[in-house]
Amino acid sequence: MKIAISGSGGIGKTTLGRALAERLHLPFLEENLGALVRAGAEARQQTQDAAAAENAYLAAVDAWLADRQRQQATHPEGFVADRWALDILQRWLLGGRGDDDAKTAALIRHVQAQAKQLDLVIVPPMLRLRDETDNEAGLRRISALGPRLLSHALYRGLLEQLTEVPRLYLAARPTTVEQRVQQVLATIERLNHARRTGQPSRAKQQETP
């Protein structure tokens, strides 16, 4: 299986991904967004040489996508990835860069090509964070409700509109890692059964409160 897990920060993507990778005996592809996030922050704050900072951000975007594509190609037997190309498109749009039609179109094409190589995309439910915290890579997670809602809604909208990849929207409950692993394993079994029997393989489970 080739699986990607995505969503806003602090919702348990990395923990779930590592647990799934261990259970399925697959490599785990780390998020590795540090360089891209730092380049984006520099582009927002730079006033003297804004063009150079923006070019550095564009280079960081392309570097992340190329590295992720290389990692996925290195593991043709399958993997569990912490984020994928759609996350980059989401960040691009949230950063106010959607008026760059050529780059946006290129990102969309990249997402659609990558989606065809995935067997399943998992989206954990959005959680309200009490305080801003850092993730495992030292990147700050935003706790404000508005940006988190927008981020989550945009990701789901892009996933629905741009791809046909099977997706699993995990419910708010159950909440333990093991229970969520079992949910994913059950979905994988349904997908495999659909393939064996020639039935449609679109997996979709809605979140519940």
Residue 68 included in any domain: yes
pLDDT score for 209: 34
Residue 203 is assigned to a structural domain of this protein? no
| Distance, CA of 73 to CA of 143 (rounded, Å) | 35
Encode pLDDT of 152-166 as tens digits: 889 999 999 999 999
Tell me phi and psi for residue 120, to 5 degrees.
-165, 140
- What is residue 7's predicted lDDT score, i.e. its pLDDT? 81
Total count of domains within the chain: 1
State the pLDDT at residue 204: 55
Q: How far apart are CA 38 and CA 33, in angstroms?
A: 9
State the pTM of this model. Answer: 0.84
Question: Could you tell me if residue 10 is inside a domain?
Answer: yes
The CATH number of whichever domain residue 123 belongs to comes to 3.40.50.300
Mean pLDDT by 10 residues, the chain (209 residues): 87 91 96 88 78 89 95 96 95 86 94 96 78 53 72 91 94 84 94 83 48
- Does residue 209 lie in a domain region? no
Residues 94 and 158 sit within 8 Å (Cβ to Cβ)? no
Whether residue 124 lies inside any domain: the answer is yes
Q: What is the pLDDT of residue 208?
A: 38
pLDDT for the residue 187 = 94
Report the pLDDT value the prediction gives residue 207, as an integer from 0 to 100. 42
Instruction: With respect to residue 79, please indicate whether it lies within any of the assigned structural domains.
Output: yes
**What pLDDT does residue 132 have?**
54
pLDDT of amino acid 198: 79
Q: What is the pLDDT of residue 203?
A: 54
Give whole-number Cα distances, 127 to 79, 113, 143, in Å.
26, 30, 9
Specify whether the CB–CB gap between 207 and 155 falls below 8 A.
Answer: no
Going by C-beta distance under 8 Å and a sequence separation of 6 or more, which residues neighbour residue 59? Answer: 39
Q: What is the 3-state secondary structure (H, E, C) of the chain?
A: CEEEECCCCCCCHHHHHHHHHHHHCCCEECCCCHHHHHHHHHHHHCCCCHHHHHHHHHHHHHHHHHHHHHHHHHCCCCEEEECCHHHHHHHHHHCCCCCCHHHHHHHHHHHHHHHCCCCEEEECCCCCCCCCEECCCCCEECCCHHHHHHHHHHHHHHHHHHCCCCEEECCCCCCCHHHHHHHHHHHHHHHHHHHHHCCCCCCCCCCCC
Domain that holds residue 130: 2-197
Q: Does residue 206 sit within a domain?
A: no
Predicted local distance difference test score (pLDDT) of residue 199? 72
pLDDT on residue 113: 96
